Chains A and B, each alone.
Chain A
Amino acid sequence: MENILLGFANAFKFVNLVAAFLSVAVGIVIGSLPGLSAAMGVALLIPITFGMPAETALIALAGVYCGAMYGGSISAILLHTPGTSSAAATAIDGYQMTLKGQAGKALATATIASFIGGILSSVALYTLSPPLASLALKFGPAEYFWLSIFGLTIIAGVSAKSMLKGLISGALGLVLSTIGMDPMLGIPRFTFGNNGLLQGLPFTATLIGLFSMSQVLLLAEKKIKDLKGSREVKDKVYLSKDEIKRITPVSLWSAIIGIVVGILPGAGGTIASFIGYNEAKRFTKDKEAFGTGIIEGVAGPEAANNAVTGGSLIPTLTLGIPGNSVTAILLGGLVIQGLRPGPDLFTIHGKTTYTFFAGFVIVNILMLILGLFAVRLFAKVSKVSDAVLIPIIFALSVIGSYAISNNMLDVWVMFIFGIVGYFVKKFNLNSAAIVLALILGPIGETGLRRTLIMHKGNYMALFGSTISWVLIGISVLSLMTPVIMSIIEKKKSKAN
């Protein structure tokens, strides 16, 4: 408890408040611009946070994450173009409200629901992380091996559209993860004599390439278009007491769904928001009104996708297993700051961790304030031309990857992965799966090899503990999820 209060005291330091405010604003801008994702924003921000104190850096990263998750709803509501894929469900009723001249009301709903989702997920962050973290010491090499296998099965879930392409992406990531020093024997692999690669691929530079530079290439090849379809916000950004009462139960329920989906690796904001939308529909008496522009249809998905933020941080912070590409990048930022996921986060690094948690709460409050009072400004931002965006992102990508370690090698790696990322998107492969495999590959490899060294090559040691069996069980379950989901969907569509 003392730590929690101390965390708030630290988070209210001026520099942390400024970081939270700016990062939420930047996050909302990034989120509201169609084509720019939360993952991209966080990847670009990491080099900037490098020189900051750990807690300020983490608060800034959380700010961009939450802001972008919310910002996606602005263009979804006004342009019918979700700024991020997780706002796709919001576009259904949100845009209908805009057509009815209720854009302000829709934006207010999105803001308040996002806030409810974010705040509830921060409660989960506070209550669920410490017990899970103390369990982390129980994870030995064998358990980490299975944990990485579980993570890898998620690729099947991430790539629900085409499992084959997901698996190709995952395999590519695994191959890339073998670059660098052999973690057990210290022998260089695939470094081609370049000592800069002994540590493996420079992670952040690789991510900036995959997520940001590739987007520059994709945007640049299209004809620059002006978004003319945008509507003005004519009414007030305001909800009456009755309307708040209407969306509160929907938002609370969707938030819980969002938290659970967030904790489960692989299923991110997009899945959460669609489940949230369906649940809102189930919850509301007037089901016919859905799709015609009602506030419940906006509140459901928005509460769910913002609840994912806190939920997805839980496995990232405690076990070092990120569930989606944003937290994968965040994990990189965490490690740069010298924080290792696990029990020490709540003991030795308790001050930093609890400051970060408090910052997460503050970020959500600032998001509410910015959303209610400055949303008209952000609405205009969402119409910025690609002609302005492309050079800015290009410059930020180059400077950002250089700034990580003042090393040109990182910049070349970023460019190479920009091109890789471009083709990844062209071939409908999955960047998130590549990143997951890149992180999980070494965890699995060292886990397996350590287990074998410790038990004189006896493979049965991999099946020695309860945790191992639990992980094997959920891995099998995770593999089956896409199959089960498609059966359920077929049944549903038949029933309809």
Chain B
Amino acid sequence: MKRVVLLLLSLALLLSVVGCAGDSGDQIDTSNYPSKPVEIIVAYKAGGGTDVGARILASEAEKNFGQPLVIINREGSDGELGYTELAQSKPDGYTIGFINLPTFVSLTLERDTKYAIDDVVPILNHVYDAGVLVVQASSEIETLEDFIEYAKANPGDLTISNNGTGASNHIGAAHFEYEAGIEVTHVPFGGSTDMLAALRGGHVDATVAKISEVAALVNSGELRILASFTEERLENFPDVPTMKEKGFDILFGSARALVAPKGTPQEIIDYIHDKFKEAIDSPEHMEKAKNADLPIMYMSPEELAEYIKNEEIYLKEISTFLDLSN
């Protein structure tokens, strides 16, 4: 009867081994690419926003890619662990990954990361999630003007929750604070879920969030958007003014892009780009993205390279006048 235990336990063993089977690449051979499954590193948790986006796109791209696309979640240190692994992967086209902007850039400016921005080469951009300033729908603050007026009358009293000190939403909020010449209190939370829970529970006055995170709550009448950090008004919320209209020239949002380790052969980059571009344009993908509140914005490799460079310039510039230590 020991056999029964052995059987049960070895079954469990087998399951766990199957879960972590990996493979190591051979020589870089572009002629018969792809000849084995391609791993896509996602530097954030399974089930998180980045992961959901990656899985939606990958499941679509897989249909005509010729090989399975395997999402590998490598979360940790705000994404640094995954980015580092991606940057250090063999540039043979069998490991690619998603990066989040501005985080991918801002981490290198904030700390001594083990990867550099140009360790990766752009393939394409998938999602652009615009920043918005939101309050509870029941708040007395009806407009951006109300917000600024109240902040000027009561310096430091208004609290804005963000998703972590120095994280994207904090930068957006601090930049707005600077441009508007007001003083608010930034309250860092562990992630965007907690940051929004604090607003929904009435523990803070406002939040700078991404539109995909709040769209459902705005539509259900729980939250109100005061302004968007975009060039033009948001397609789904045409009544919401932009910061720019109100005289504050701040553009801010987060982009999620597909990149490959530097040194990946151009033919392979092109192949991946074309297959993923096809997937982005497919109606099935657009439908799924809409259901998941993912604002899709394709950028070509050149546009994406330009965008990454501008992010770096912007972040370096604002760090000279923004104090993000709190």
Contacts and interface: CB of A to CB of B under 8 A. Distances in A.
Interface of A: 22, 25-26, 29, 44-45, 47-48, 50-51, 54, 136-141, 181, 183-186, 195-196, 198-199, 336-340, 342, 344, 377, 380-381, 383-385, 388-389, 392, 395-396, 399-400, 402-403, 405-406, 446, 450, 453-454, 456
B4 A342 contact: no
B165 A396 contact: no
A389 B202 CA distance: 53
Interface in B181-217: 185-190, 193, 197-198, 200-204
Interface string B1-33: 110111011111101110110100000000000
Contacts of B325: 185
A396 B9 contact: yes
A219 to B, nearest CB: 15
B79 to A, nearest CB: 11
B308 to A, nearest CB: 22
B76 A342 contact: no
B200 to A, nearest CB: 5
A491 B12 CA distance: 50
A51 B185 contact: no
Contact of B110 (A47, A186, A381, A453): A186
B189 A392 contact: no
A183 B19 contact: no
A195 B84 contact: yes
Contact of B189 (A405, A450, A456): A450
A388 B6 CA distance: 8
Nearest to A379: B1
Nearest to A25: B8
Q: Which of B1, B166, B186 has the most CB of A within 10 A?
A: B1
B46 interface: yes
B2 A388 contact: yes
B226 to A, nearest CB: 20
Contacts of B200: 137
A402 to B, nearest CB: 7
A181 B165 CA distance: 11
Contacts of A388: 2, 5-6
Contacts of B17: 399
B63 interface: no
Interface string B306-326: 000000000000000000011
Ranked nearest first, the 8 interchain pairs of A and B with the lowest CB-CB distance are A338-B47, A140-B203, A380-B1, A198-B77, A137-B201, A403-B20, A51-B19, A48-B16
13 contacts: A29-B4, A45-B12, A51-B19, A137-B197, A186-B110, A196-B81, A198-B77, A199-B76, A337-B46, A337-B47, A338-B47, A392-B5, A453-B186
A26 B8 contact: yes
Given A381-B5, A388-B5, A406-B20, A26 B84 contact: no
Given A337-B46, A338-B47, A450 B81 contact: no
A383 B2 CA distance: 8
B184 to A, nearest CB: 11
A380 B2 CA distance: 8
**Does more than half of chain A's interface fall in helix, strand or loop, or is it mixed?**
helix
B187 A186 contact: no
A140 B198 CA distance: 6
A113 to B, nearest CB: 25
Nearest to A185: B165
Q: Which of B10, B19, B110, B198 has the most CB of A within 10 A?
A: B19
Q: Which of B9, B11, B110, B202 has the most CB of A within 10 A?
A: B9
B80 interface: yes
B246 interface: no
Contacts of B4: 29, 377, 380-381
Given A186-B166, A336-B46, A195 B81 contact: yes
Interface in B74-105: 74-78, 80-81, 84
Contacts of A405: 74-76
Nearest to B6: A388
B204 A454 contact: yes
Contacts of A198: 76-78, 80
Contact of B16 (A337, A383, A392, A403): A403
A22 B81 CA distance: 34
B11 A342 contact: no
Given A140-B198, A403-B20, A454-B203, A48 B15 contact: yes
Contact of B114 (A138, A195, A344): A195
B164 A138 contact: no
Interface string B48-60: 1001000000000
Nearest to B167: A186
B156 interface: yes
A150 B24 CA distance: 49
A403 B203 contact: no
Nearest to A378: B4
A309 to B, nearest CB: 21
B159 interface: yes
B10 to A, nearest CB: 8
A406 B22 contact: yes
A195 B83 CA distance: 12
A362 B163 CA distance: 39
B45 interface: yes
